[in-house]
Amino acid sequence: MSQDGDGTGGDGDTGGGVLVLSDDVVVHGRHDAEGNRLEPEEVVTERRLGVRMPMTAHDTGRPLGGMRAAISYEQPAVELADQLSSLCALCKHWDQRARAAYVAQCNRTKAGIQELNRIRITLFKAVDRIGDQHEGDDGEFDAEHALGALGVCHPLTDACNEIVLTHQGSGCPAFLDENNTQPFTYSYEARDKEADVLGSRTYDRIMRKAQGKE
């Protein structure tokens, strides 16, 4: 089972860490259509972010350096701040080694290979959101490259009683099902001090920008 999401990435060897290459937040007006000043949490912001994140081989977990991409998010400031400060790639519960082991196990059976093909189809369906981070040499979407940007989310796996893969640029979903009837408990925890500092700085910067302080 896989859950896709907006992605982030970089190029070069990151040593397992996340490197911000460029970072810009644009505020799209601090007043509503009637001219009333919006609260900082309501201000619509766009964050244009360039990052470098580690990549591993989808079947062995061998480090492959990283990938680089530009990401753009536009939504209310507080939602944007929450989302970008708690990406899967920064969470200690997101596990690429477990994904590599799962893929290797799937490749041993016909049913497993069929499951991997279903995951690839899911990634193709998300090409409008993650495609620019996973282009092959021919400029087309590379599903194998995208597969390498997935990891096992252990809290989601426990909640769903099956392996759940998420993209490194995703975050905790609010619900487990498409009908939004089964709430999911927010489970993000920064994987290390570096991730914690990056997440906090990201949140604070977006909110300062929304308040007109930056």
**pLDDT digit string, tens, across residues 165-201:** 999 888 888 888 888 888 998 899 999 999 898 888 8
Using CB atoms within 10 Å of the CB of residue 27, give its burial: 0 to 12 exposed, 13 to 18 middle, 19+ buried.
Answer: middle
Among the residue ranges 13-27, 103-117, 148-162, the one predicted with the least confidence is: 13-27
pLDDT at 143: 84
- What's the per-residue H, E or C state across 154-200? HHHHHHHCCCCEEECCCCCCCECCCCCCCECCCCCCECCHHHHHHHH
CA 199 to chain centre: 13
SS3 20: strand
Quick check: 9 pLDDT over 50?
Answer: no
pLDDT at 14: 34
> In the structure, what pLDDT confidence band is assigned to residue 78 with cuts at 50, 70 and 90?
confident
**pLDDT digit string, tens, across residues 48-69:** 656 566 666 666 666 666 666 5
SS3 21: strand
**pLDDT digit string, tens, across residues 95-112:** 999 999 999 999 999 999
Angle of helix 77-84 relative to helix 193-210, nearest 10 degrees, comes to 170
Per domain, the residue ranges of the chain are: 2-210
